[in-house]
A and B are shown apart, each in its own frame.
Chain A
């Protein structure tokens, strides 16, 4: 088994896996090879619908199909699913609370070479503000599989955020995904690093570096950004006193903001947000971009020390 896998890969496989058990219909907008819905298409061609390059139309069509009782997955790049089709998602899917799952791939700057026009770093923020919407950002392929299953079992709209880049495993095959529940990956007493998506593995590495320097960092994975697990966040603030958030997304409106909202109303604590700092991405190799924008274990450790005054 390869030691890395893209969450979009796991998404396609999960659709094919659960396609037998559930009445799933999958829609895609001319990107099935990239979003990996092709894996489902190969197994269940009659339940795969290509809408062409028409994301807005896809979302409202998905809504219509969902009214007849099917579980509908609608897929495109995060930029076009959450961005271009935002208003169709809001008004056709979320407002009537229909059972549509938005499988958004190629999120974040790790899209790489395609550049800023294709790098969605605003999608969590956009989707989080919409009532009824559940927002999930899995950290690895096992979590992606679990997220797909949970989305199917959840009645109502879900936004699933997947990446293009192959990422190392955080979990193993025994992992049980629980919607809305944060996962503590490591205990610690001096600070808590709360991460999501591909930043979870970086947070784990950062905690190791910090441990070498005598700082005990707790690591929490928040895969479900909405509804967010308030308890695990408040507990972390109470027990460790300082919070660092890490996400491959704008620091405006994403995980960092969601955590800040919980803390400021419940248990204010000092915190710092690691993420994209109100700028557009650009073209380059995914790894170079992650480094350039500070989406690394090294930068998480650095920001943590700064926060703790060390």
Chain B
């Protein structure tokens, strides 16, 4: 897929993120907007054997959103990819809708793992990757981690495991947006340097720009050819990317925009969609 098409899909995912959190009056826009481009490249280019008719196809590549609070972006991309109807998005977080606040495997087609408690998704991704090895299957497993999430000890237990069992069919992406709830990761509880830590844990570390499709594409390609080690793309990102007043602002971690803010945010995203020749 060309970058222009990818950009358009990513903009639509961002629109879904805004619609979801605004209609729920709750949810996590910041970290959802920072991973919208990564998810777009994964679901429209990188991941293989996805079949919306058979979402549980055993040979499919898997994806685990380890930072499960960013479900609006996952639901946005799954809807764009055709796993369920886009009209569900505005039911997000409401009692009569399957789109749970955090991804739920048993409730939503296309969701490969239930997450929400930070640090656990990467271990589950390890389990899937290990199982592929046991079965002699060649599907790949992807997971997105938050940089704040890396403060959880379990992330490092999982990092050790993936390297120990040489899970080269596992590719993690670290959403390196520099923020967590209580502020900058460097101020709250620094997990830095993250690249050197993962290197020391014997991972193949690749630095990419989370909002540049060429950079992401090349990162995933490098991960694919690396044998004998798990790979991680450390993706420098902007929390709140695409909505000017949300960018790099920890206050938008887990707050929904009010009507006025929503209108402003939508106008910015819709302008991008229009500019790319898309329909709103």
- Interfacial residues, chain A to chain B (CB-CB below 8 A): 28, 30-34, 50-54, 56-57, 79-80, 84, 112-118, 282-285, 288-289, 292
Q: Tell yes or no: B117 within 8 A of A by CB.
A: yes
Q: Are B95 and A56 in contact (CB under 8 A)?
A: no
Q: Are B102 and A115 in contact (CB under 8 A)?
A: yes
Q: Are B116 and A115 in contact (CB under 8 A)?
A: yes
Pick from A31, A33, A79, A289: contact of B95, CB below 8 A: A289
What separation, in Å, do the CA atoms of A114 and B92 have in the docked complex? Answer: 10
What separation, in Å, do the CA atoms of A285 and B91 have in the docked complex? Answer: 12
Distance (whole angstroms) from the CB of B101 to the closest CB of chain A: 4
Distance (whole angstroms) from the CB of A94 to the closest CB of chain B: 20
Q: Tell yes or no: B189 within 8 A of A by CB.
A: yes
B90-131 vs A, Cβ < 8 Å mask (1 yes, 0 no): 001111010111101000000000111111000000000000
Pick from A57, A117, A288: contact of B101, CB below 8 A: A117
Q: Are B189 and A51 in contact (CB under 8 A)?
A: yes
What separation, in Å, do the CA atoms of A288 and B24 have in the docked complex? Answer: 13
Shortest Cβ distance from B94 into A: residue: A284
B63-80 vs A, Cβ < 8 Å mask (1 yes, 0 no): 000001000000000000
Give the chain A neighbours of B117 by CB distance below 8 A: 79-80, 84, 117
Q: Are B118 and A53 in contact (CB under 8 A)?
A: yes
What separation, in Å, do the CA atoms of A80 and B152 have in the docked complex? Answer: 12
Distance (whole angstroms) from the CB of B48 to the closest CB of chain A: 29
Pick from B100, B149, B151, B191: contact of A115, CB below 8 A: B100
| Given contact pairs A53-B152, A80-B117, A292-B95, A30 touches B182 in the complex (Cβ within 8 A) | yes
Shortest Cβ distance from A77 into B: residue: B117
| Given contact pairs A53-B118, A53-B148, A54-B152, A116 touches B189 in the complex (Cβ within 8 A) | no
Give the chain B neighbours of A56 by CB distance below 8 A: 153
Q: Are A53 and B93 in contact (CB under 8 A)?
A: no
The total of chain B residues at the interface (CB under 8 A) is 31
Q: Are A114 and B153 in contact (CB under 8 A)?
A: no
What separation, in Å, do the CA atoms of A30 and B187 have in the docked complex? Answer: 11
Q: Tell yes or no: B181 within 8 A of A by CB.
A: yes
Give the chain A neighbours of B182 by CB distance below 8 A: 28, 30-33, 50
Q: Are B189 and A54 in contact (CB under 8 A)?
A: yes
What separation, in Å, do the CA atoms of A56 and B191 have in the docked complex? Answer: 16
Give the chain A neighbours of B189 by CB distance below 8 A: 30, 50-54
Q: Tell yes or no: B30 within 8 A of A by CB.
A: no
Most buried by B among A51, A53, A54: A53
Please list 8 pairs of residues, one from A and one from B, whose beta carbons are closer than 8 Å in the complex, sorted by A's number: A34-B181, A50-B189, A53-B149, A84-B117, A117-B101, A117-B116, A283-B93, A284-B95
Instruction: List residues of B (21-44) whose CB comes within 8 Å of A's CBs.
Output: 24, 26-27
Q: Are B153 and A113 in contact (CB under 8 A)?
A: no
Please give 11 more A-B residue pairs, beta carbons under 8 A apart, in addition to A84-B117, A285-B95.
A33-B182, A34-B181, A53-B148, A56-B153, A57-B153, A79-B117, A80-B117, A115-B101, A117-B115, A283-B99, A285-B94
The 4 A-B residue pairs whose C-beta atoms are closest, nearest first, are A52-B189, A117-B116, A284-B95, A115-B101
Q: Tell yes or no: B180 within 8 A of A by CB.
A: yes
Distance (whole angstroms) from the CB of A106 to the closest CB of chain B: 12
Q: Are A54 and B151 in contact (CB under 8 A)?
A: yes
What separation, in Å, do the CA atoms of A108 and B94 have in the docked complex? Answer: 17
Q: Tell yes or no: B226 within 8 A of A by CB.
A: no
Q: Are B151 and A52 in contact (CB under 8 A)?
A: yes
Q: Are B180 and A53 in contact (CB under 8 A)?
A: yes
Q: Are B95 and A118 in contact (CB under 8 A)?
A: no
Q: Are A282 and B102 in contact (CB under 8 A)?
A: no
Shortest Cβ distance from A119 into B: residue: B101
Instruction: List residues of B (188-212) whose CB comes within 8 Å of A's CBs.
Output: 188-189, 191
Give the chain B neighbours of A284 by CB distance below 8 A: 93-95
Shortest Cβ distance from A288 into B: residue: B95
Distance (whole angstroms) from the CB of B100 to the closest CB of chain A: 4
Distance (whole angstroms) from the CB of A123 to the closest CB of chain B: 14
| Given contact pairs A32-B182, A53-B189, A54-B153, A114 touches B94 in the complex (Cβ within 8 A) | no
| Given contact pairs A30-B182, A31-B181, A118-B101, A112 touches B94 in the complex (Cβ within 8 A) | no
Pick from B24, B118, B181, B191: contact of A113, CB below 8 A: B24
Distance (whole angstroms) from the CB of A25 to the closest CB of chain B: 16
Shortest Cβ distance from A28 into B: residue: B182
Shortest Cβ distance from B181 into A: residue: A30
Q: Are B116 and A113 in contact (CB under 8 A)?
A: no
Q: Are B115 and A282 in contact (CB under 8 A)?
A: no
| Given contact pairs A53-B180, A112-B26, A283 touches B101 in the complex (Cβ within 8 A) | yes
Q: Are B93 and A113 in contact (CB under 8 A)?
A: yes
What separation, in Å, do the CA atoms of A283 and B92 have in the docked complex? Answer: 8
Shortest Cβ distance from B151 into A: residue: A52
Shortest Cβ distance from B256 into A: residue: A113
What separation, in Å, do the CA atoms of A50 and B190 have in the docked complex? Answer: 11
Q: Are A113 and B27 in contact (CB under 8 A)?
A: yes
Shortest Cβ distance from B253 into A: residue: A33
Distance (whole angstroms) from the CB of B163 to the closest CB of chain A: 21
Pick from A33, A115, A289: contact of B181, CB below 8 A: A33
